[in-house]
Amino acid sequence: GIHPRDMDLLVGNFFIPKRSTIAMRKEKVLIRMENVRALVCRRHCFLFDAHHPRKGLQKSQLHSPKMCVSRQEAMQKAREAFALSMAEYAKENPSSLQESIPFHVRMIECVLEETCNFFHQKVERLKIVVEKILEDLTNDVNMGGLQRLLPLKRVLTEVEHDISDTHEALEQVLESDDALMDLCLQGLDNLTTCSGTGSQHFTEQDQDRDKLRRAAADIMLTYQRQVDDAGGVVEELRKGIESAQEVWELTLDTTRNKIIRMNLFISMAALSLTSATIPAGFFGMNLVSGLESSHNAFYIVIGATSASSIFVGLGLVFMFRKFLDKRRAKDLAALQDLLSHIDDIDDIFQVLTSKGAVISQEEFKKFIRTHPSTESMQEREIDLMFRMFDNNHNGQLE
Which residues contact residue 160 at a Cβ distance below 8 angstroms, ignoring those fewer than 6 apart? 231, 234, 235, 238
The CA distance from 134 to 157, in Å, is 17
**DSSP track, 174-192:** HT-HHHHHHHT-SS-TTSP
45-48 β-sheet, strand order: 21-24, 29-32, 37-40, 45-48
pTM as predicted? 0.59
Q: Helix (H, G, I), strand (E, B), or coil: what is residue 54?
A: coil
The CA distance from 157 to 109, in Å, is 27
The Cα-based distances of 378 to 262, 369, 381 in angstroms read 33, 10, 5
Mean pLDDT of 131-158: 78
Q: What is the tens place of the pLDDT at every residue in 376-386? A: 667 777 777 77
Half-sphere exposure of 373 (CA within 13 A, CB side): 11
Among the ranges given (143-147, 213-217, 267-271), the one the predictor scored with the smallest mean pLDDT: 143-147
Q: From start to end of the chain, where are the E strands? A: 21-24, 29-32, 37-40, 45-48, 359-360, 396-397
Residues β-bridged to residue 396:
360
Which residues contact residue 122 at a Cβ distance below 8 angstroms, ignoring those fewer than 6 apart? 159
CA angle 190, 193, 194 (to 5 degrees): 150
Q: What is the tens place of the pLDDT at every residue in 172-225? A: 888 888 888 888 876 444 444 444 444 454 577 677 777 888 888 888 899 999
Which residues contact residue 66 at a Cβ distance below 8 angstroms, ignoring those fewer than 6 apart? none
Query: Which residue ranges form the domains of the chain, and what is each CATH number?
Result: 4-189+203-257 (1.20.58.340), 341-398 (1.10.238)
Give the phi and the psi of residue 301 in degrees, each rounded to 5: -65, -40
Is residue 165 pLDDT above 80, yes or no?
yes
Q: What is the tens place of the pLDDT at every residue in 329-373? A: 777 777 777 677 666 666 666 666 666 667 777 777 777 777 666
CA angle 244, 245, 251 (to 5 degrees): 90
Q: What is the tens place of the pLDDT at every residue in 72-113? A: 565 566 556 666 666 565 555 555 445 567 788 888 888 888
Displacement of CA 45 from its chain's centroid (Å): 37
Is residue 282 pLDDT above 70, yes or no?
yes
**DSSP track, 237-280:** HHHHHHHHHHHHHHHHHHHHHHHHHHHHHHHHHHHHHHHHTHHH
10 Å Cβ neighbour count for 95? Answer: 8
Q: Are 205 and 189 in contact (CB under 8 A)?
A: no
Mean pLDDT of 51-71: 45
